[in-house]
Amino acid sequence: MINMTRRAILAAPTLLAMPAIAQSDDRPTLTIAVQKLSNSNTFEPPREQSNVGFRIHGLYAEQLIGTNWLGNAELVPGLATEWRRPDAATLELTLRQGVRFHDGREMTAEDVVFSFAERLFGTQGATGAGQSSVLAGTATKEPPSEVVAVSRRTYPGLDRIEIVDRHTVRFINRTPDVTLEGRIAQSVGAILSREAFANAPSWLEWGRAPIGTGPYRIAEFRPDTSLVMEAHDDYWGGRPPARRLRFVEVPEVSGRVNGLFSGEYDFACDIPPDQITVVEGNARFEVLGSPINNIRKLSFDKTNPVLADARVRRAMTHAIDRRVAVDALWAGRTAIPRGMQLESYGPMYLADWENPRFDPAEARRLLREANYQGQPITYRLLNNYYINQVSNAQIMIEMWRAVGINVQIAMQENFAQVTARTPGRGVRDWSNTSIFGDPVAGILRSFGPRTEAERTGEWSNEEFNRTSAALETETDIARRRDHFRRLLTIVEREDPGYIVLHQAAAFTAKRKDIGWRAANGWAMNFGPGNLRVGA
């Protein structure tokens, strides 16, 4: 259970009027065309753990520990200026003073405790064992079950948060955790206003306009259409360089590119590689981007009657020639990772690990051994939610057909349809973002206890779960590496849960006269120091 060691005082909620934008304000309004605004039609970070959510999260909400997405994704001071480790299960943080929420209130330690307790876990607390003492008896808005599930997965060992003083907090785990700093840096751990939460009429209204500390505040949201953010001029990091940001949902690539050329949009996101030369053929525009901290994968539902046999899934992994697909669709602009890991893992990176080899003969042998008779396997597919998603699927369909595997595409409208527990669910596209440099931040966000793979009923493995628990609590680097190797052996070789496809890459087209740097992740940074118009 999450609790406080000092009484939390819930003042009568008062929303302060936002400062009016002066008539002489000559900062620009920028319009950004995106493929999708939000998968959940909310902006509460634990509910929008997606590439589209990560893109805008940092504009309105921040964590105690930040990530330098314009650098090497290293952890940096955020709403906390420093932190220290009394022991392997404890982290103490000093809060930045003078930080103002979008409602005008100053951020204090009590907002931190609220943000990690009532807001994420509700009255049942982190373990579900009982009522949290944080704002006990005052909570009227329980978070949705998926928010609680994501929160418990993100902070599996969190026991309590102690307020040392108004600007100092102490996180205490039930078990050792060498990754606690990285966990706190995840978007789930955004620090939001407890008074604004208490004042919101409902959780949904809160979730569509959470009150954070970022350089911009959410001003207007029209689901599936547009999102408007306005400058937060009391931002602790300096005056935001844009007066207003307007995100517009434009599903088709051609619509985003044409709108950029016509002047309707200043930025166009999610540009596929084959359109980069088209954009840069116009001297007024350029495309920025690179491979990022995300791995695209194809996920198996092992409860499917055909895929229940691991040999069929293993055959499917051996039938895929990743290099052919990447060369055909990405023109050398991305990479094929060595399994579900990134080099940013540092000492935890297994440089000698390999993906299952492309081996059609072995695929056919496994299918004969499994007595596979050509039964159809459904591939639930979205229309290019991921860049080149449909084309990639079509290439894989042909590779599987070449070894005798009958995979059939079933187009879906949204993720809820893709993951629904309805007959015929077989394989689907997914991706895995590593929020910081450790396997805990990557593979264990998707697979293992309390993760989406387990919650949706697609994949679970008892040994994998035991080993993941051991990895999360181990402090010795050599033993942690051994645990990680065993996890990859289980989920990529023995009992496949997915096929690694390629490292995701994010490309954004923009006007050349706008000075702006692309992040090494999904995040779009329009804050002080990263935006200049008329360059």
Please tell me the predicted confidence (pLDDT) of residue 148.
92
Domains of the chain, earliest start first: 26-61+214-284+512-535 (3.40.190.10), 62-201 (3.90.76.10), 292-504 (3.10.105.10)
C-alpha atoms less than 13 angstroms from C-alpha of 310 in its C-beta half-sphere: 11
Nearest Cα residue to 366 out of 299, 308, 318, 428? 318
Please tell me the predicted confidence (pLDDT) of residue 261.
98
DSSP code of residue 315: H
> What backbone torsions phi and psi does residue 38 show, to the nearest 5 degrees?
-160, 135
Q: What is the mean pLDDT for each group of 10 consecutive residues in the chain (535 residues)?
A: 34 36 77 96 94 95 96 94 97 98 97 95 68 40 90 93 96 96 96 96 95 98 97 98 98 97 98 95 96 96 97 98 95 95 96 98 98 98 94 97 98 93 94 93 93 92 97 97 98 98 96 96 95 80
Nearest Cα residue to 152 out of 364, 475, 454? 454
Please tell me the predicted confidence (pLDDT) of residue 20.
42
Q: Which residue has the tokens 């950004």?
A: 32
d(CA 265, CA 245) in angstroms, rounded, equals 11
Q: Which residue has the tokens 């200049």?
A: 532
Paired tokens of 35: 């493929």
Q: Which residue has the tokens 């590439």?
A: 51
Beta strand residue intervals within 314-468, DSSP E = 377-381, 407-411, 427-433
Please tell me the predicted confidence (pLDDT) of residue 170.
98
d(CA 451, CA 472) in angstroms, rounded, equals 14
Please tell me the predicted confidence (pLDDT) of residue 182.
96
Q: What is the DSSP secondary-structure string of 246-310?
A: EEEE--SHHHHHHHHHHTS-SEE----GGGHHHHHTSTTEEEEEEEEEEEEEEEE-TTSTTTTSH
Please tell me the predicted confidence (pLDDT) of residue 1.
39
d(CA 417, CA 58) in angstroms, rounded, equals 28
d(CA 120, CA 49) in angstroms, rounded, equals 14
Q: Partners of 246 in the beta sheet?
A: 31, 228
Please tell me the predicted confidence (pLDDT) of residue 136.
35
Handedness of CA 160, 163, 167, 169 (dihedral sign): negative
Paired tokens of 159: 């026991």
DSSP code of residue 232: -
Distances (CA, A) of 457 to 43, 143, 302, 378, 466: 26, 22, 9, 16, 18
SS (H, E, C) 133-202: CCCCCCCCCCCCHHHHHHHHHHCCCEEEEEEEECCEEEEEECCCCCCHHHHHHCHHHCCCCHHHHHHCCC
Please tell me the predicted confidence (pLDDT) of residue 5.
35
pTM, two decimal places: 0.86
d(CA 469, CA 395) in angstroms, rounded, equals 37
Please tell me the predicted confidence (pLDDT) of residue 125.
67
Please tell me the predicted confidence (pLDDT) of residue 327.
94
**Terminal Cα-to-Cα distance of the chain (whole angstroms):** 52
Nearest Cα residue to 210 out of 188, 186, 241? 188
The angle subtended at Cα 33 by Cα 281 and Cα 524, nearest 5°, is 95
C-alpha atoms less than 13 angstroms from C-alpha of 225 in its C-beta half-sphere: 4
Largest interatomic CA distance in the chain? 75
Alpha-carbon Rg for the chain, nearest whole angstrom, is 23
d(CA 158, CA 270) in angstroms, rounded, equals 36
Contact in structure between 203 and 125 (CB atoms under 8 Å): no
Paired tokens of 127: 């373990």
Tell me if residue 419 falls in helix, strand or coil.
Answer: helix
Say which amino acid occupies 84: R
Contact in structure between 431 and 297 (CB atoms under 8 Å): yes
Paired tokens of 485: 């190797």
Contact in structure between 191 and 107 (CB atoms under 8 Å): yes
Q: Which residue has the tokens 């929420």?
A: 101
